[in-house]
Amino acid sequence: MAPSVPLLWVLLPGLAALEPLSVGLAIGVASALTGYLSHPRFYCSYVECCPRDGQRLNATALKAQLDSRLFGQHLAKDVVLKAVLGFSNNPSPKKPLMLSLHGWAGTGKNFLSQILAEHVHPAGLRSKFVHLFLATLHFPHHDQVKLYKEQLQNWIRGNVSACPSSVFIFDEMDKMHPGVIDAIKPFLDYYEEVDGVSYRKAIFIFLSNAGGDLINKAALDFWTSGKRREDIQLKDLEPLLSVGVFNNKNSGLWHSSIIDRNLIDYFVPFLPLEHRHVKMCVRAEMAARGYTVDEDIVQAVADEMTYFPKEQKIYSDKGCKTVQAKLDIHEDLVMGDTRARG
């Protein structure tokens, strides 16, 4: 929605003094300017605009980003690309897209959500159409569930009215009170409209560690039997997740009506990250900081992480989560070194 610029009225007082020809000219120039200023392409390069109807997400670009930046998550990548492609190519989806991301801490759930959000709204998490909710930050007190429910419903209603393709990310789903989650159920369902607002173009992403232990175990079983990680298929994990997560009444979401109504379109598993993936994260982080990648530091940072299970030490305890902090320390050491030498 571009504002109409009242430029014409600014020019008008002076017009009386001019000849008709110049008046006509001035009006022409003014209206051309007005049109130009309010043209979406111009306007939206200064103010963030909600994508127009029919404006599709660039799936090629999304795939390229996931291929180059998300390490060791072939399943998550495939599922999300498939889900998003189907949703984005459908001119009239029947319900909002609802993804539930599961896996160990630091395996890339937030990271993938962020990349996905950037392809819907280029400003990503900074976009006013992308909303991140943290259970422990936004909904900390269990005795205030009623208030949170109301707040959340008002927010989502307001946000989706302002932009139908709003993206909502709920982190720490396993710490969320089920009542809070139930509050968003009406928006997720197959309704054409709720109180005059259609939610069908919105994207909801739930992140949780629930099921992470089961996914880890499945990955370890694959490893133990000498099979390739990349050969793990969705069907190898789905039965596990359905027993361990959907029927686990202690995992926050799972006794909420969202599960009962089958409103979740895709369960997206994140595999635990190995030493080689941690190294990839370190390299990526060094490159992002503009350093030349030093393999000694890469090795050192990866070696500093702790790994499980105790005997085999295959998977990183915190995924890639502490890579940045660890690199900071090494950076200081390297800097100190050069300073000492210099």
Ligand X SMILES: *[C@@H]1O[C@H](CO)[C@@H](O)[C@H](O)[C@H]1NC(C)=O
Annotated binding site for ATP: 103-110
From ligand X, ligand ADP, none, which one binds at residue 211 (CB under 5 to 8 Å depending on kind)? none
Nearer to ligand ADP, 163 or 203 (CB): 203
63/112 Cα distance (integer angstroms): 11
Q: Min. distance of Cβ 228 from ligand ADP in angstroms?
A: 17
CB 271 within 8 A of CB 72: yes
Identify which of residues 31 and 58 has a Cβ nearer to ligand X in the complex.
Answer: 58
Contact status, residue 297 vs residue 334, Cβ threshold 8 Å? yes
Kindly state the smallest distance separating residue 98's Cβ from ligand ADP, in Å: 18
Cβ neighbours for 254, distance < 8 A, ≥ 6 positions apart: 178, 210, 245, 246, 247, 248
Sole window of 8-16, 53-61, 178-186, 315-323 interacting with ligand X (rule: CB under 6 A): 53-61
3-class DSSP assignment, residue 47: coil
Task: List the structure tokens of 31.
Answer: 């209206």
Interaction partner, residue 212 (ligand ADP, ligand X, none; CB < 5-8 Å by kind): none
Please tell me the distance from the alpha carbon of residue 100 to that of residue 267, in angstroms, as a whole number.
5
Return the SS3 of 164. Answer: coil
Contact 299, 98 (CB under 8 A): no
Minimum Å gap between C-beta 166 and ligand X is 8
Q: Which of residues 131 and 177 has its CB atom nearest to ligand X in the complex?
A: 131
What number of other Cβ atoms are within 10 A of residue 339's Cβ? 8
The neighbouring-strand residues paired with 269 are 102
Give me the least distance between CB of 218 and ligand ADP, in Å please. 17
Residue closer to ligand ADP by CB (options 98, 282) is: 282
Measured from the CB atom, is 198 or 324 closer to ligand X? Answer: 198
**Residue from 18, 32, 162, 329 binding ligand X (CB under 6 A):** 162
Q: From the list ligand ADP, ligand X, none, which binds 106 (C-beta under 5 to 8 Å, kind-based)?
A: ligand ADP
| Residue ranges in contact with ligand ADP by CB under 6 A | 69-73, 105-111, 207, 281, 319-321
Please state the closest distance from residue 57 (CB atom) to ligand X, in A: 9
Q: Is 155 one of the binding residues for ligand X (CB under 6 A)?
A: yes
Minimal distance, residue 58 CB to ligand X, in Å:
4
Question: In this structure, are residues 143 and 177 in contact, taking their beta carbons and an 8 Å threshold?
Answer: no
Please state, in angstroms and rounded to a whole number, the distance separating the CA atoms of residues 317 and 199. 38
**H or E segment and range at residue 133:** strand 130-134
Residue ranges binding ligand X (CB under 6 A): 58, 60-61, 64, 131, 155, 158-159, 162
